[in-house]
Amino acid sequence: MDWFQLAREKEARMIETRRYLHQYPEVSFFEKHTHAYIVQRLEQLDFEINDHVGQNGIIAKISGNKQGPTIALRADFDALPIEDLKDVPYRSKVPGVMHACGHDGHTATLLTVAELLHEHQQKLKGTVVLIFQYGEEVTPGGAQEMIADNALMGVDKIYGNHLWSGYPTGTIHTRPGPMMAQPDEFNIKIHGKGGHGAKPHETIDPVVILAEFILSAQKIVSRTIDPVKQAVISFGKIQAGEADNVIPDTAICRGTVRTFEPEVQQHIYHKMDKLLQGLALANDITYDFDYVKGYLPVYNHEASANIVKEAANTLNFRYHDADLMMVGEDFSYYLKARPGAFFFTGCGNPEKNSEWPHHSPHFDIDESAMKYTVSTFMKILELENVL
């Protein structure tokens, strides 16, 4: 089958679907309207639908006449609390909420796969499970809840995709083994002793102590971790005080740690805590240190990653090995439970202003990229002997 041509024939409707979803985004765990829209579309097709899996997930199954494997494909459908600043006709109509990561495109592509499977059901040798997942953007995410609610029951392998503005439109990227990091978060509050800015000797300045911690923390990665291992410590928020002549009682910071290996993650946590202990001892302060572990790293199974590569090459797409990325994805939990692979479809195109980074208020996708995802999914099913 020429899956690319079949996907191209559905491109106009797929773009219409994506733009509708883009105009009516809903944040994680509150995707009521989006959920209803997906169910309504699936009810028009020959699928067995299991609604409200986990909290708000949707499972749709379709089977052929022969006893073949069961392959799952997943898309997420939540949006982000970001104001949409694009000047386009399909700009978000919901104040302060937008699809700034491409999940609208993911849902549109999987609904298109559903239509193709419905139209070619007679060619099915096994079973395809379509997983529409809520809450990917906010930990603990929707994947774990859906898995606990038997989303993967009977599934042999699973595949997922992410449209990616950092790669050129239409390219396909994956790699065996580690591909995306574990995104942990931390919150630190330094309790000092405030006072007048003109009399610092009468205070215990939490701002200076926090600054010392931030600078020292950078040496954890650069001087205590093997340089061939990947790790990141970044500070995203620092807050202290209200006036220029008052030393505050407290100072806070928030940030993220990104790692691929549990031992590196634990090393960073313990080093951060030791730094805080030392600062507390040296400066007579107390502190709160809240460290929240994020999603597991995404580890692709080698055989499945090779299937993605073969699918792209068979379709004559431009395939490249994916870069190691320090971003996170809760698709990792599916891959912990079943063999499979996650891959990227490039959707960055300067001519269509779609090279903005993910989670930017200007983010958009080159919608012509979606047909590459659809046809890759269909070719994967063919190579897995489901079609």
| pLDDT tens, residue by residue, 72-94 | 999 999 999 999 999 999 999 99
Which structural domain range is residue 196 located in? 182-292
- Residue ranges of the annotated binding site for Mn(2+) are 101, 103, 137, 162, 359
- The pLDDT value recorded for residue 67 is 83
Per the annotation, the verdict on 367 as an active-site residue is no
Q: Which of 26, 76, 78, 184 is catalytic?
A: 78
Binding residues: 101, 103, 137, 162, 359
Close Cβ partners of 116 (under 8 Å, ≥ 6 residues apart): 3, 6, 7, 10, 374, 378
Phi, psi of 39 (to 5 degrees): -60, -45
Inter-residue contact 57 to 142 (CB < 8 Å): yes
Q: Give the three-state DSSP class for 250.
A: strand
Assign 3-state DSSP to the chain and report helix, strand, coil percentages, each to 5: 35, 30, 35
Q: Are residues 108 and 204 in the same domain?
A: no
SS3 75: strand
- Position 167 scores a pLDDT of 98
CB 92 within 8 A of CB 25: yes
Q: What is the DSSP letter of 321?
A: E
Is the domain of 321 the same as that of 278? no
Identify the segments of the chain with pLDDT beneath 70.
none
CA dist., res. 380 & res. 387, Å (int) = 9
232, 261, 292 — which closes off a domain?
Answer: 292
Q: What is the pLDDT of residues 259-317, one digit of tens each?
A: 999 999 999 999 999 999 999 999 999 999 999 999 999 999 999 999 999 999 999 99
Is there a single domain that holds both residue 167 and residue 270?
no
Q: Which DSSP state fits 154?
A: T
The active-site residue out of 26, 84, 115, 136 is: 136
Verify that 222 and 282 share a domain, yes or no. Answer: yes
Q: Are residues 115 and 39 in the same domain?
A: yes
Task: Give the pLDDT confidence score for residue 65 in this predicted structure.
Answer: 80
Provide the number of structural domains found in the chain. Answer: 2
Amino acid at 127: T
- The predicted pLDDT at position 66 comes to 78
What's the pLDDT at 270?
98
The neighbour count for residue 363, using CB atoms within 10 Å, is 23
* Of 70, 92, 90, nearest in space to 82 by CA: 92
Q: Is 113 exposed, middle or buried (0-12, 13-18, 19+ CB in 10 A)?
A: buried
39 and 141 in a single domain? The answer is yes
- Kindly give the residue spans of alpha helices, DSSP state H, lying in 43-123: 103-119
Active site residue 184: no
Tell me: do 24 and 154 sit in the same domain: yes
Per-residue confidence (pLDDT) for residue 25, from 0 to 100: 98
